[in-house]
Structure 1
Amino acid sequence: MTDDSAKRDYRDTVFLPKTDFPMKAGLPQKEPGIAARWEQIGLYNALRDARRGREKFILHDGPPYANGDMHIGHALNHILKDMVCRTQNLLGRDAPYVPGWDCHGLPIEWKVEEAYRKAKKNKDEVPPKEFRAECRAYAQNWVNVQREQLKRLGIMGDWDHPYLTMDFQAEATIVAELMKFAEAGNVYRGAKPVMWSPVEKTALAEAEVEYEDITSTQIDVAFEIVECPNEPSLVGAFVIIWTTTPWTIPVNQAISYGPEIEYVASEINGRRYVYALQRESDLLSRLGIPTVDKGLGVLKPGALDSAKARHPMHALGGFYATPRPLLPGDFVTTDSGTGLVHMAPDHGEDDFDLCKANGINPVFAVMDDGRYRDDWQWLGAHDERRMSVINPKFNAPDGPICSDLRETGALLAASADYAHSYPHSWRSKAKVIFRCTPQWFVPMDKVLGEGGTLRERAVAEIARVEFIPEKGRNRIGAMVEGRPDWVLSRQRAWGVPITLFVRPDGTYLQDPEVNARIVAAVREEGVDAWEEARKAEYLGAGYNPDDFEMVTDILDVWFDSGCTHAFVLESGRWPDLQWPANLYLEGSDQHRGWFQSSLLQSCATRGRAPYDQVLTHGFTMDAKGRKMSKSEGNTISPIKVMEEYGADIIRLWALSVDFTEDHRIGDEILKGVGDQYRKLRNTFRYLLGALDGFVGDMSDGGTLPELEVYVLALLSELDGKLKAAAEAYDFNLYTRLLVDFCNEDLSAFYFDIRKDSLYCDGPDSVTRNAYRTVLDLLFHALIRYAAPVLVFTAEEVWLSRYPEDGEEDDNGQRGSVHLLEWPAVPGVVVDNARWAMLRALRDQVNEAIEPLRRDKTIRSSLEAEVVVPDSAVPEGVSDEQLAELFITATVARGQGETVTVTKTAHHKCSRCWRLLPDVAEDGALCGRCDDVVSHMDAAA
């Protein structure tokens, strides 16, 4: 040792990690450049080439509507889909991703109409082709916008060739799929009550409806009995009905009672009334009467059979003059009301079925905008009576219905205080009504050509398909088992037409040659090809155009999206795809939407579901667990989050939450995700620095130290768990395992222990070379594990170690980390119990040192001399190994059961800062450092 060693600065002799990879991420600035490079090198196509011939994995993208900026639900949904495809590709499968958009239907048409209204332009005065062209342009604009936003999110797919339901090829396929239903006789036209939006003037599907809590007017109305064969004494008495839709009283045609319900006749204020005994208390409360004046007793069973009552407005004559029959109905309960239900077959499903069974037909009195016809007897064409039936004033206790009923003495009670849930259009947010109109339906319970009904086929497939989470099976199963016939028709302009020719008797033409001509025309010209001027052309010489009517309705957009499996997976336009899909992945609301429409369409035409697995995610709530809405001002824009934090932060958030349930996002949550990200980034930065100049394996080819073997065993265990999580789509677990391994097993344990060897051992050190060999294995494994999650950061890390101008590796995959496959890690196994003891003892030592560090007795664990219980140390572990493991000056063993810590009296090595017996005085070197420095000086 030289005499001036105490004064020498040894910093230039320490092998500190060296890297240009910055700790400050700067993701918002850096990510667009990485994305641009991916486009430049054709990354998606390069991946397809690399995986060609491998086992296929097909995720079919459910089409979002092309009508606005990407919101946080879009972001979560597409990140999950991206994670699925990336992990499947990483596992060595061929997992292409073709994104798509739903372009037809009311959401887009409504936006174009809004622009018309602002410009004081009448849609009805615009030629249909011109209007549809504006809808097409509107949709295309938002396709372009959303495509760039999703690409910015790091979603990898065939963005140059997405599928659009408005492409002519897609429209032709939708028409062809409709024709399969029609040619098989699985479409019929009928008048049934359907959910109808008076604002949008069209029928709605269940999936287009949301339920909101409202307060309605509830009324009790008396109908006078005029015939009662089984109990003549009831003639002149009044049956009381209760309803929360006063507007339906003008089309009442019957009254229903429950055959098993006990009814009572009571005298109240000089009148006799009939109602369910079980509902008496609530009824009297509404009437403001404490008790009945005189009970006339419970009616005998069957007393109301064949009875008739007259409508309160019978004096108007005409429609109202006919007495209303009392009909038994199994659906009548005593859960609410009076146990007697007024029947308006135009406006209720039970009403319609019961009345139809008894020869009573709907009257179609309410028009498409929710107003009664001008010629309707009761409500003439003047003042407030011409309001829409969804107008609260129309139904109010002092509105036209209640006022007229009050004048006749039939209105017994009315109050605007009934709170309940009611369906609304999720687009216009306006209340919907049940309205009977002629519509086109697909029957659920008709036996299909190859046996079984559509309902039975769908139920069987629901039993076969795997649902993740499992509760999705019961959700969609209950919906399919109880759903009515599928309403196919919509009374709008922007969509695929129902391309049927109908005869005067209501039957439609089922001619494959005619249908083929229609499909060919739509393939060439899109939906505009279905026009009256081409009627003769399509029908051909064999038919007289005057004998047929062309249907002007369009298809339910759920039929459009339900056909996407046909024109995307089967068409051959995307040769990387195949039918059926392995997986459909959407929000849980799609059990009543896309999952179901795809299931029904495919079961009817192909006998099975178009998917083998269905994965559903919950909804994103704000930080307080509230539903996001613009009116609440609690929405989170993924675009703004990317601008502030970067796309990788949103990705890490989306893959860290339990997405199968409703989950939360907010500023504090994102800050926490940012902390997680920084720890992962720091892990890679450390690996890059520690591997600076690393070119190969251990220099002496010797056996790895026990600590390295243990870490490789941890890596092997992690590898198995991550692979299982990826296969099970458990991305929350996948991400947590990865983060915990980097933080707890590497940064806080392995890196911490080995930093002394990395910094201060000589270049030929077996331990240092073994450490860097394991770090290299860790790097290649972790970068692959992280790549599907942190797509931009992983690429940045990869290119930092393997820049574009560097030599290619053995696989020729220098271009992108996203071309790599799942790592091959050593299948190492160790005695886990032994290492569990050592790590538990290490935790005890750190806990015992902390109080001395807090009171500044010692500044670091290197100054600590530790005595540990001999019984806590596994066999074969030396005190020197324990000191290395605990990063302390020395370790000794005692017979007690606790860990004791004292400050060492040893001097500190000026190079490695360890306090060791062989350091003669402060400023001197330990033996190890003296050897390393001597060799370095000699080499210099």
Structure 2
Amino acid sequence: MCADTPDYKDTIFLPETEFPMRAGLPQREPEWLARWERIGVYDRLREKEGRAPFTLHDGPPYANGHLHIGHALNKILKDMVVRSQQMMGRDARYVPGWDCHGLPIEWKIEEQYRTRGLNKDEVDVVDFRQECRKFAEGWIDIQREEFKRLGVTGKWEKPYVTMDYHAEAVIAEEFMKFLMNGTLYQGSKPVMWSPVEKTALAEAEVEYHDHTSHTISVRFLVQGSNWMPPLVSSEDPGTMTPEWARIQEELKGVSVVIWTTTPWTIPQNRAVCFNPEIAYGLYEVGSVGENSTARPSERLVIADNLAETIFKSARVVDYTRLRQVEANELAGLTLAHPFRNLDGANGEWDFGVPMLPGDHVTDDAGTGFVHTAPSHGDDDYQIGLKYNLPMTWNVMEDGSYRADLPLFGGQQIITPEGKEGPANVSVIKALHRAGALFAKGKIKHSYPHSWRSKAPLIYRNTPQWFVAIDRPVGDGQDDYGTTIRQRALTSIDQLVTWTPRTGRNRLYSMIEARPDWVLSRQRAWGVPLTCFVKRGAKPTDPDFLLRDPAVNARIRDAFEAEGADCWYVAGAKERFLGGLHDPEAYDQVFDILDVWFDSGSTHAFVLRDREDGSADGIADLYLEGTDQHRGWFHSSMLQACGTKGRAPYRGVLTHGFTLDEKGMKMSKSLGNTIAPEQVVKEYGADILRLWVAQSDYTVDLRIGKEILKGVADSYRRLRNTMRFLLGNLKGWDASEAVAPTEMPELERWVLHRLAELDTEVRRGYAAYDFQGVFQKLFNFCTADLSSFYFDIRKDALYCDAPDSLRRRSARTVLDLLFHRLTTWLAPILVFTAEDVWLSRFPWDEGSVHLEDMPLTPADWLDEPLAQKWAAVRQVRRAVTAALEVQRTAKAIGASLEAAPVVHVGDEAALAALRGLDFADICITSDIVVTGDPIPSEAFRLPEVPGVGVVFEPAEGEKCQRCWKILPDVGSHAHPATCARCDEALG
């Protein structure tokens, strides 16, 4: 610039804002948290009247450790739901909660005891429970602050806690409803058992890991037969037919071969099952290899599809299939137990083993025959019920055989340290001595483990308390079925909306096939099964359980006042029964409830009982990870169907698990875990929240350093959009506003896009599609605004006169954009939206989170205008690309140095450009639009057919105020300005 050229810099309306480019989120977010707490945002929202309630019921996390990234994902999703529903006009309540009872906390206290050399069993049970309570209280305080740091809103000062006295009273009361409605019973059946923790486990407390097990193939020698017609002579039923006699002779010395991965269950064998649909053969062994336990010439019955595999495992060199063995032949066989007549067996196994049909038998693996121990597996148990097989009690709570079991007494299946005990090997050796071992090996497979001790589990027959899910519930609430299973399946199909839909199928199939609910646990920390049984009565006796509403009321009132500890105080039985029943006639039950019953009951003491619950005791949404189909969703469904007659929720949302960037499961041993605290410290909670919003939560989500860098880049681009709005709204006054009908087309096109987005954003938030909402808003901010509208209108905003229609229209649109973008983004970027809002409205008591999403007039929609501007933008793309070629070739330094000629072959596109200042739209100083044929030298963009651009330099001088190159520059009152700038300067 020459010395005598005027400097017009101070006459330009450049953006002005204190909103910083660098967010500084890790340092600044705690300030906003403190501010929200000070002004009471959550409670002030509750004061808004006339709003339909929306209740997201919190699935309680467990109070026993710092948060992991899965916790953060879960709570952030919940917060996005609550905030978006609130800002769309609902009264969205969120009461956070904690699960406090159960094995994990008890296990921690036991570990502390062991470290101090104490024995838990020698400590007063109430004192022990108090230690568990203190432990949970400490972690609740820690986790509460960690959740709040993520920007999660809620009733933090008054959460629900399952160990509160009222909660314990209601849990007991809900249990006693099952006592009274006839579905509670005591039964003896195999349950998943942890020998290390000495308790039954629910399916939700089980995780599966690779485990190496022994495999054995065992001979069960045919002992006799009981052939049914037509193999008996029709003329003389007491006489063998020749066929009968032939088969009887043929099967002498034949063995049926079973295969199992649990050798320790062989002493409990009471049957062998086959499938009538499977083809079986009678085989004779030929020669055998070295160290084979097979015997030449022995005859065996094996499924045809598995014979080759089994003989190979036994090192059989060659064999012959003699004939097919029919199902009716198998059904008539009685086998000898492998330990029959074994030295030292003392007659323990001197009984016949029947062969029974079973649909659960397959020929996918094994031998086609299933060794059946009714006390140690559900399929086995069901066969036992059907055919009245005897149960065994050979395995004790610590995973050892009963002391007086011949051959194996006292031997451990699983040691107290969670390792394999000697039982398996001892059984294998005994089978070898008995001549029953046909083959052995090992297999690596998925096997159930305790989620707490990580030790392998066993199925064990124990007396437990169950809820019968197929027994009619005697409560008269039969709108959705008469049994718990019927009510649950009906609820799943008719009453619940599933996000994603696959959640419906998962829970339906689980409940459709599940057995009765095991309620009891043999532990100390939890809500006891508040019931009494008649001394000397059998579980099948009608008066076995004491059912008295007056006793139940006493228990409930005591728990309300003193908590569940009062059940364990000396004299408790007399307190609850005295004056109503003879305490000496009853035994008090001391098992505790499955913790899933606790959390399954939360609908009663949270949704039903709290003022901020739900009027009908039903939540609008339950939201947890996919593992909760067998956990909280499942237990809540069963519990409520037994007490309310239906599901306690109208909607269920499930999300996936968190993985590292390579798709690997996170593990401390692999060193690939990412703690929420770590992300918040480096990037801020809003970046973590944006990661959640950018991800498809319906599948497993990946997170890592590179992914977070990409999220941070997206965040910066959004932040720049908001900064542009703030900078160009400096000094905005409502008197500037222009009515939409008076605005230029470009502004009306932006209003059209806002109307479209308003529908899409609301629909997306209503469907919990946060990824879809974010993508639409991000694309709008970057493609429609930053790269198009803002780019075009910068010139008018900076250089037009303050009262020009174009500038006022643009500022009006920026104001409308501000209110919508801040509220649309607020449920996701809670801190940044507040930062943006307070940068413009720094009121002491204000917050974007007290606002609703503004209503957007439907008449802003203008489809013909939108189609026109879609065509305009396509032609602009070709022009922009052509100028970029010239810039790269250094023919020009900026687009304002160009005045291209644009050839448009499409008549509709050409018509769309008529009447527009296309030079302004393309950010050139001049432009010529023509329908003439496209010259051969014209630039073409393949994806924009029918458009050619011929570069021409702009003619004239450069305006020293707006930098456009125009012929009229220098001919006005203000030196070196164009007509527009001269007028703006006045």
| TM-score, with structure 2 as normaliser | 0.90
Separation in 1, partners of 2:410, 2:642: 46
Instruction: Determine the structure 2 residue equivalent to 1:825.
Output: 856
Corresponding residue for 1:123?
A: 120
Preserved contact between residue 431 and residue 437 of structure 2 (Cα < 8 Å): yes
In structure 1, C-alpha distance between the alignment counterparts of 2:417 and 2:389, rounded to whole Å: 23
Q: Does 1:188 align with 2:192?
A: no
CA distance in structure 1 between the partners assigned to 2:676 and 2:41 by the alignment = 24
| Structure 1 residue 748 corresponds to structure 2 residue 782 | no
Cα drift, residue 578 of structure 1: 5.1
Residue type of the partner of 1:408? Answer: A
Find the counterpart in structure 2 of residue 612 from structure 1.
Answer: 650
Of residues 641, 648, 651, the one that matches 1:603 is 641
Instruction: Name the SS of the counterpart of 1:655 in structure 2.
Output: helix
Contact in 1 for aligned 2:872/2:913 (Cα 8 Å): no
| 874-883 or 481-490, which deviates more | 874-883
1:291 to 301, 311, 318: 318
**Contact 2:191 2:459 (C-alpha < 8 Å) held by counterparts:** yes
Q: In the alignment, what sits opposite 2:624? A: 586
Residue 393 (structure 1) shift: 5.8
Contact 1:379 1:386 in 2 (8 A): no
Shift of 1:462: 0.6
Secondary structure of the residue aligned to 2:94 is coil
Q: CA deviation at 1:5?
A: 8.4
Secondary structure of the structure 1 residue equivalent to 2:51: coil
Partners of 1:220 and 1:705 in 2: CA distance: 85
Match 2:580 to one of 534, 542, 552 = 542
Q: Secondary structure at the match of 2:666?
A: coil
State whether residues 514 and 540 of structure 1, in contact with CA within 8 Å, keep that contact through their aligned partners in structure 2: no
Where 1:759 maps in the other structure, the secondary structure is helix
Letter matched to residue 857 of structure 1: A
The question of whether the paired residues in 2 share the 8 Å contact of 1:190 and 1:438 is answered with yes
Q: How does 1:569-584 map to 2 (within 5 A)?
A: 569-574=607-612, 579-584=617-622
Query: Greater shift after overlay, 468-477 or 691-700?
Result: 691-700
Aligned match for 2:473, one of 441, 448, 456: 448
Find the counterpart in structure 1 of residue 550 from structure 2: 513
- Partners of 1:460 and 1:649 in 2: CA distance: 41
Asked if 1:915 is matched to 2:982, the reply is no
Identify the match of residue 47 of structure 1 among 45, 48, 67: 45
Which residue pairs with 1:254 in the alignment?
Answer: 271
Name the counterpart of 1:435. 460
When structure 1 is superposed on structure 2, of 254-263 and 57-66 the one drifting more is 254-263
2:438 aligns with one of 397, 412, 418: 412
In the TM superposition, residue 903 of structure 1 has moved relative to its aligned partner by 2.5
Aligned to 1:282: 309
Extract unaligned runs of 5+ from structure 2. 228-246, 286-295, 935-946
Aligned to 2:919: 883
Q: Any conservation in 2 of the 1:380–1:386 contact (CA below 8 Å)?
A: no
1:45, 1:578 → 2: CA distance?
Answer: 22
Match of 2:899, SS state, is: strand
Match of 1:8 in 2: 6
SS at match of 1:773: helix
- Corresponding residue for residue 810 of structure 1: none
Q: Secondary structure of the residue that 2:348 maps to in structure 1?
A: helix
Which AA in structure 1 matches 2:961? Answer: R
Describe the SS at the equivalent of 2:349: helix
CA distance in 2, matches of 1:163, 1:578: 18
Listed one character per residue, the Cα deviations across residues 602-645 of structure 1 (whole Å, up to 9, x for unaligned) are: 11111111111111111111111111111211111111100110
Letter in 2 for 1:90: M
- Aligned to 1:104, the other structure's residue is in SS state coil
- Choose the corresponding residue for 1:839, options 870, 873, 878: 873
Cα deviation, 1:90-111, whole Å, max 9, x if unaligned, reads 0111111101011111121122
1:869 aligns with 2:898: no
Equivalent residue for 2:816? 777
CA apart distance, 1:156:
0.5
Structure 2 residue aligned with 1:656: 694
Shift of 1:524: 1.1
Q: With structure 1 as the length reference, what TM-score do the two structures score?
A: 0.95
Correspondence list, 1:716-865, <5 A: 716-804=755-843, 815-827=846-858, 828-830=860-862, 831-865=865-899
Give the Cα separation in 2 of the matches to 1:756 and 1:815: 33
What's the offset of the Cα at 1:538?
A: 0.5
Aligned to 2:490: 460
Q: Secondary structure at the match of 1:496?
A: coil
Match of 1:636 among 671, 674, 690: 674
Q: Which residue of 1 aligns with 2:242?
A: none
Opposite residue 839 of structure 1, the aligned amino acid is R
Which deviates more from structure 2 when the two are superposed, residues 258-267 or residues 460-469? 258-267
Within the candidate set 368, 376, 395, 1:339 is matched to 368
| Aligned with 1:66 (options 41, 56, 63) | 63
Which residue identity does 1:8 align to in structure 2? Answer: P
Displacement of 1:86 in angstroms is 0.7
**Matched position secondary structure for 1:510:** coil
Structure 1 residue 218 displacement after superposition: 0.9
The one-letter code of the counterpart of 1:271 is: E
* C-alpha distance in 1 between matches for 2:837 and 2:321: 88
Per the alignment, do residues 395 and 288 of structure 1 end up closer, same or farther by CA in structure 2, a change over 3 Å counting? farther
8 Å contact kept, 1:880–1:890: no
Asked whether the equivalents of residues 271 and 373 of structure 2 are also in contact (C-alpha less than 8 Å), the reply is yes
Mean CA deviation greater in 167-176 or 306-315: 306-315
**Pairing 1:360–2:385 present:** no
Worse-superposed segment, 856-865 or 444-453 = 444-453
Are 2:159 and 1:162 aligned?
A: yes
AA at the equivalent of 1:320: W
Deviations 1:260-291, CA, capped at 9 Å, x for gaps = 43333333213222222332111111111132
Q: 1:880 Cα shift?
A: 6.4
Contact 1:371 1:388 in 2 (8 A): no
1:35 is aligned to 2:71: no
Where do residues 307-318 of structure 1 align in structure 2 (5 Å cutoff)? 307-314=333-340, 315=342, 316-318=345-347
**Which is worse superposed, 696-705 or 789-798?**
696-705
Which of these residues, 961, 971, 979, is aligned with residue 927 of structure 1?
Answer: 979
Alpha-carbon distance between aligned partners in 1 of 2:417 and 2:12, rounded to the nearest angstrom:
84
Count of aligned pairs: 918
Matched position secondary structure for 1:836:
helix
Instruction: Show CA shifts across 1:288-307 (max 9, x none).
Output: 11321x54422344223343
Aligned to 1:938: none
Distance (Å, rounded) in 1 between the aligned partners of 2:110 and 2:4: 85
How many Å apart are 1:374 and its aligned residue? 1.8
Distance between the aligned counterparts of 1:512 and 1:745, measured in 2? 68
Instruction: Find the aligned partners of 1:854 and 1:386 in 2 and give their Cα distance.
Output: 74
What residue is the counterpart of 2:205 in the other structure?
208
- Secondary structure in 1 aligned to 2:464? strand
Contact 2:533 2:589 in 1 (8 A): yes
Q: Which residue of 1 aligns with 2:139?
A: 142
Amino acid at match of 2:557: A
Task: Give the whole-Å Cα distance in 2 for the aligned partners of 1:552 and 1:90.
Answer: 48
Corresponding position of 1:105: 102
Question: Counterparts of 1:247 and 1:926 in 2: how far apart (Å)?
Answer: 96
Deviation at 1:552, TM superposition (A): 1.1
Q: Deviations over 1:566-587 (max 9, x none)?
A: 0001113536765211111111
Matched, 1:172 2:169: yes
What does residue 942 of structure 2 align with?
none
Q: How many angstroms apart in 2 are the aligned matches of 1:461 and 1:385?
A: 42
1:324 aligns with 2:347: no
Contact 2:264 2:413 in 1 (8 A): no
CA distance, structure 2, for counterparts of residue 548 and residue 318 of structure 1? 38
1:699/1:764 contact within 8 Å kept: no
Q: Within 1, Cα distance between the matches of 2:927 and 2:576?
A: 94
Instruction: Give 3-state SS (helix, strand or coil) of 2:867's partner.
Output: helix
What does the per-residue CA deviation read over 1:15-68, in whole Å, with 9 as the maximum and x for residues that have no partner?
111111111100000000110011111111111112x33111111111111111
8 Å Cα contact 1:385/1:394 also seen in 2: yes
- Taking the aligned partners of 2:20 and 2:101, their CA distance within structure 1 comes to 47
Secondary structure at 1:297 match in 2: strand
Deviation at 1:250, TM superposition (A): 2.0
How far residue 355 of structure 1 moved from its aligned partner, in angstroms, is 2.5
* RMSD (CA atoms): 2.1
Change (3 A) 1:381 1:696: closer
